[in-house]
Structure 1
């Protein structure tokens, strides 16, 4: 019972942080600051979010291993797949797309917009998966 509550808390922290950073903090920064400063701060915030996501993914993995004895194997497997997909979204975006975006921005390459669109799509998918993860906890 205690591990189920901790698992729900971690899932809520993960989902809430994704939604807050991506759909509240970043838009507010760009609406209230100049683009360069907003981009710099948003980059730092998204880096912190990526590290939090990796930590939450690891914690969920441990909690799914130890704290789901009352779940069916199918339920455990489906939730684990959601967690893995969310972690892969973080890895792909933060360690794959973000460095390419930084390089494109630094060189003035026009591909920055396309890369930003890909990154935003990955983030949206991860955000939707976070809702599904919370739903599956019940």
Structure 2
């Protein structure tokens, strides 16, 4: 189980980003009566996604090096920069961009920035999943 834990964490991280960002949130905007209602629910889903990202990244950081080992696990050598980048992107979106979107400040700019950061986080998670699955 210990050897597969990084794969499971990376798969949960990438899969939850995919499900929420590319399935659930678009469905909200397609089926709820107003975009304001959809936006409120979407904000809560993205917040939950941030907590999933934090947990998965923290777990990946913890298991990246075995106790008393001199160097990180093989998968971690290639993936650690993407784990940290993905974690930082999740935090930036949740605590830097999302409050401005909710406050409806310059929506085009902040929504575009948040979408780009979410897509970059998705790519980071995919790269980590790829690295963990190969080892």
Aligned residues: 130
For 2:99, the equivalent position in structure 1 comes to 99
Q: CA deviation at 1:101?
A: 1.8
Distance (Å, rounded) in 2 between the aligned partners of 1:119 and 1:101: 9
Provide TM-score, normalisation by structure 1: 0.86
Provide TM-score, normalisation by structure 2: 0.88
Residue pairs, 1:116-135, within 5 angstroms:
116-135=111-130
> RMSD across aligned C-alpha pairs, in angstroms?
1.9
Residue pairs, 1:1-138, within 5 angstroms:
2-33=1-32, 34-66=34-66, 75-103=75-103, 105=104, 109=105, 111-137=106-132, 138=134
CA 1:72 to 1:48, structure 2 compared with 1: closer, same or farther past 3 Å?
closer
Question: Runs of 5+ in structure 1 lacking a partner?
Answer: none
Question: Runs of 5+ in structure 2 lacking a partner?
Answer: none
Distance (Å, rounded) in 2 between the aligned partners of 1:127 and 1:98: 17
Higher normalized helix content (fraction of residues): 1
Kept in 1: contact 2:64–2:72 (CA 8 A): no
